């Protein structure tokens, strides 16, 4: 089994300068470790708990910034798409179009992303069983998109909590689906802080190790230079100073479990 690739970057595209700062910090880490990765940052945090929360620069400005980062640093980029009309705009600059978990069954959005010809990553909704994603895969195939991934990111467990069933990773891969594990959002506590989402970021590396041992094609981990000051999802992001060590351990787990 091939070494997993990584999706790395901050939750939100907080500013152009911040995006460049993070991208320039992550690239040498990836180069040292010899990993394939996508740089990520969301141009619109459209499903925030509070209506007053930070969202981002929007699709045109956000994808422009990501596209320029991609060209200068020579790395592929990814971001979330929330509306069908955004897919074509984003596809000019974005290599991997991501469909958020809450929108994973939106047929028009799936169709729009699929028809761009770009790779697509669909986050499995917190309300879906692993076999339910077969229907999503069939939709993508029906729109002539065979280059796609499904991302596991936890399942709702009571109120303000998520759990990850590692059997899900195996079950989806047995259906011929390429799977990414989202370590960041799997440790969220949705709405757990009242006006914002809480989480247990210290557990993200723990779950990532289990996912890599189980077998996944990719690992999604958000990282931030100062999570305590992040404008979105701070409690779940791995501090930038720790990300290299986390990835090293994941690569060691992969080698031990899969022999590569």
Q: Could you tell me the CATH number of the domain that includes residue 239?
A: 3.20.20.70
Task: Indicate if the pLDDT at residue 258 is higher than 60.
Answer: yes
227-241 pLDDT, tens digit per residue, is 999 888 788 899 999
Q: Which structural domain range is residue 224 located in?
A: 5-258
Q: What is the mean pLDDT of residues 137-150?
A: 98
Residue from 159, 141, 46, 151 nearest 104 by CA: 151
Give Cα separations from 226 to 81, 132, 139, 237 (angstroms).
26, 37, 39, 9
Q: Are 222 and 238 in contact (CB under 8 A)?
A: yes
What's the domain count of the chain?
1
Q: What is the mean pLDDT of residues 132-157?
A: 97
pLDDT recorded at residue 193: 61
Task: Write the DSSP symbol of residue 12.
Answer: B
pLDDT recorded at residue 122: 98
Task: Indicate if the pLDDT at residue 50 is higher than 70.
Answer: no
Task: Indicate if the pLDDT at residue 194 is higher than 70.
Answer: no
Give the distance, in angstroms, between the CA of residue 173 and the centroid of all CA atoms in the same chain.
18
Tokens of 205: 């590396």
Min mean pLDDT across 31-35, 51-55, 140-144 is at 51-55
């Amino acid at each position: 089994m091939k070494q997993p690739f990584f999706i790395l970057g901050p939750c939100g595209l907080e500013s152009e300068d911040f995006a460049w700062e993070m991208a320039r910090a992550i690239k040498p880490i990836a180069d040292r470790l010899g990993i394939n990765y996508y740089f990520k940052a969301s141009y619109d945090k459209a499903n925030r708990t509070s209506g007053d929360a930070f969202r981002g620069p929007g699709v045109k400005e956000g994808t422009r910034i990501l596209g320029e980062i991609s060209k200068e640093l020579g790395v592929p980029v990814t971001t979330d798409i929330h509306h069908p009309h955004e897919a074509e705009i984003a596809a000019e600059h974005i290599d991997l179009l991501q469909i958020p978990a809450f929108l994973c069954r939106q047929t028009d959005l799936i169709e729009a992303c699929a028809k761009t010809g770009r790779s697509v990553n669909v986050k499995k909704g917190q309300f879906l069983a692993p076999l339910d994603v077969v229907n999503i895969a069939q939709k993508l195939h029906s729109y002539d998109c065979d280059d796609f991934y499904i991302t596991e990111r936890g399942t709702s467990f009571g109120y303000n909590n998520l759990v990850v069933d590692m059997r899900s990773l195996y079950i989806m891969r047995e259906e011929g689906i390429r799977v990414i594990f989202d370590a960041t959002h799997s440790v969220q506590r949705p709405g757990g802080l009242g006006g914002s989402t809480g989480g247990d970021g210290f557990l993200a590396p723990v779950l990532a190790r289990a996912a890599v041992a189980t077998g996944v094609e990719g690992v999604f981990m958000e990282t931030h230079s100062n999570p305590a000051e992040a404008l979105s999802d701070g409690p779940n992001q791995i501090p930038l100073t720790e990300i290299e060590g986390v990835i090293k351990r994941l690569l060691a787990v992969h080698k031990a479990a899969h022999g590569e």
